[in-house]
Amino acid sequence: MSPRKKRLVIIGNGMATCRLLDELLERDALHRYEIAVFGAERGGAYNRILLSKVLGGDDPDAIVTKPPSWYTDHGVQLHDGVSVRRLDTAAKIVETEDGQSARYDLAVFATGSQPLVPPLDGMTNGDGELRPGVFIYRTLDDCLKMRAHARAGDNAVVLGGGLLGLEAAKVLSDAGLHVTVVHAGRTLMNVQLDELGGEMLERQIEAYGIFVRTGRTLEAVLGDSFVDGVRLDDDKTLAADMLVLACGVRPRVDVARASDLPINKGIIVNDTLATEVPGVYAIGECAEHAGRTYGIVTPAWEQAAILAEVLTGANPQARYRGSKVYTRLKVAGIDVASMGRIDPELDSDEVIQVVETRRGAYRKLVVRGRALVGAMLVGNTAAAADLVRIFDRGDPLPDDPLEALCPGASSGGDERADRMVCNCNKVSEGRLREAISCGAASVEALCLATRAGTGCGSCRTELAQLLARHPPPPTRIAAAG
């Protein structure tokens, strides 16, 4: 008689859950578990990184990674549009906001992050709801509401000069709106870029016709029934038919807190992604490992693979040791890459900067001996893949570190094969060329075969270039008899 399957419940249905399901099913988890997913949003999982495409007019289905039918077809129970209130960890019961309950044996928190919403005067109406014209930019539903409201010739203010805010600003500007970005930091994307890098990015953003106000915050939203302006902290006002809030995020831990889980900034986990409460785990942006939370997708996917190894018994000794953080993105159409430390930490650290004023490009290396401590690229990211390989593997830099900014200059064939093309999924050039040789003749086919291009999508141009340089072998046509 086969043992009873345990019930595995996953709370949250974002990108971390999407990858965890793939990793679990690859390891035949359904032979061991009944899997149920609780997601507060309606529908299946989608790629949150690509929300700007929907804001720009794409069909929402274009960014859906797992439609509801996928869960049914793969034997996973999906409870969409259902918010979890708390876990009763003693009784092992999931309690939902609508008063329902469900048993579990193991639970995984993958609740992601929630947006930071400043308490602005005039932002809400009498019942506490956002006033018409004020939008939080975080979900697929948010994008659809913004898209329906935006009209060419209107004025839009975007609060927040990080990735999401700049993406929203670019899409709205392309739709014919007059757009102003208001950012509290001295420079844009100040988490990923130093001051000079932020200034170079700002120049390029303004070249698109977007206005930027850095070092400023909003004090109030103006208007009666509808938004018609905002007041800045210097008492100046800006006309606004819509206000988009993209002020950053923080780990979503409200359900974990209600469940009496250990929480600092995020849900505290060990190297197996387990909390101190037996049978309860956490991954992704809501998890805090070794005192650190991550706000990008790659660590979430690395954690998903480790947790799947542990839960299925495929490798019970698998351990998560933290992630090296690097990002390679298109920010409002501008190539940006950042990895490691963006400023020196030791007096002995060497900083190498290359500024191309006419091209609007900026490249920076932070070097310790022959080790790459950090790098930053704005407007010219051709060397990003080679730098990521050096940074990720800890390879020594060339005697002249400037050579590292010349892509492929010192790389032989084997090193080129190891070069990381897709940072999100850690897909090398060698693996991509192998997929091409096996018949992957288009970018979509490469994405399907290797997962490259399915994260932030910034490497898709390079996938097309690889196909052009290394075309697949011609299809053999049998001779007629």
CATH number assigned to the domain comprising residue 232: 3.50.50.60
Whether the pLDDT of residue 169 is over 60: the answer is yes
* Model pLDDT, residue 44: 96
Q: Both tokens of residue 351? A: 């900083």
Q: Is the pLDDT of residue 410 over 80?
A: no
pLDDT for 397 beyond 70? yes
Residues 242 and 254 in one domain: no
Residue 298 and residue 219 share a domain = no
Structural domain harbouring 431: 326-469
Among 264, 155, 259, smallest CA distance to 211 is for 155
Q: Is residue 394 part of a domain?
A: yes
Beta bridge partners of 156: 179, 242
Count of alpha carbons within 13 Å of 403, Cβ hemisphere only?
11
| Co-location of 460 and 341 in the same domain | yes
- Helix, strand or coil, per DSSP, at residue 262: coil
d(CA 434, CA 411): 19
Domain boundary among 247, 270, 285: 247
pLDDT of residue 350 exceeding 60, the answer is yes
At residue 481, the pLDDT reads 40
pLDDT-based confidence at residue 413 (cuts at 50, 70, 90): very low
**Does residue 164 form part of some domain?**
yes
Helices 429-437/443-450 angle, 10° precision: 110
Instruction: Note whether 148 and 20 are same-domain residues.
Output: no
pLDDT band, very low/low/confident/very high, at 162 (cuts 50, 70, 90): very high
350 in the same domain as 441: yes
CA distance 163 to 331: 6
Is the same domain home to 226 and 255? no
Q: How many CB atoms lie within 10 A of CB 154?
A: 18
What CATH number does the domain containing 443 carry? 3.30.390.30
For residue 183, what is the enclosing H or E element?
strand 178-183
Q: How confident is the model at residue 447 (pLDDT cuts 50, 70, 90)?
A: confident
Share of the chain above pLDDT 70, in %: 95
In a domain, 372, yes or no: yes
- Number of separate domains in the chain: 3
Task: Please give the single-letter amino acid code of residue 304.
Answer: A
Mean pLDDT for 305-316 is 98
For residue 131, pLDDT over 70 is answered with yes
Q: Based on the fold, state whether residues 144 and 99 are members of the same structural domain.
A: no
Of 247, 269, 288, the domain-final residue:
247
Identify whether 277 is part of a domain.
Answer: yes
Global confidence as pTM: 0.89
| Band (1; pLDDT cuts 50, 70, 90) | very low
pLDDT over 80 at 414, yes or no: no
476 lies in a domain?
no
pLDDT for 406: 81
Domain co-membership, 360 together with 464: yes
In a domain, 127, yes or no: no
Is 478 inside any structural domain?
Answer: no
Say yes or no: 308 and 330 in one domain.
Answer: no
pLDDT given for residue 416 in this prediction: 64
Q: Is 18 helix (H, G, I), strand (E, B) or coil?
A: helix
Question: Which of 247, 265, 295 is the endpoint of a domain?
Answer: 247
State mean pLDDT over 103-116. Answer: 97
Residue 2, judged by CB atoms within 10 A of its CB (0-12, 13-18, 19+), counts as exposed
| Same structural domain, 257 and 109 | yes
**Average pLDDT score over residue span 424-430:** 79
Burial (0-12, 13-18, 19+ Cβ within 10 Å), 56: middle
Mean pLDDT of 134-150: 96
Same domain, 371 and 420: yes
**Together in a domain, 241 and 257:** no
Mean pLDDT of the chain: 91
pLDDT value at residue 415 = 56
Per-residue CA distances from 146 to 54, 181, 372, 438 (Å): 10, 16, 42, 43
Identify the weakest region by mean pLDDT among 70-74, 306-310, 369-373, 448-452.
448-452
Does any domain span residue 128? Answer: no
What angle, rounded to 10 degrees, do the helices at 297-312 and 15-26 form?
30
How many CB atoms are located within 10 Å of the residue 203 CB?
16
Q: For residue 230, is pLDDT > 80?
A: yes
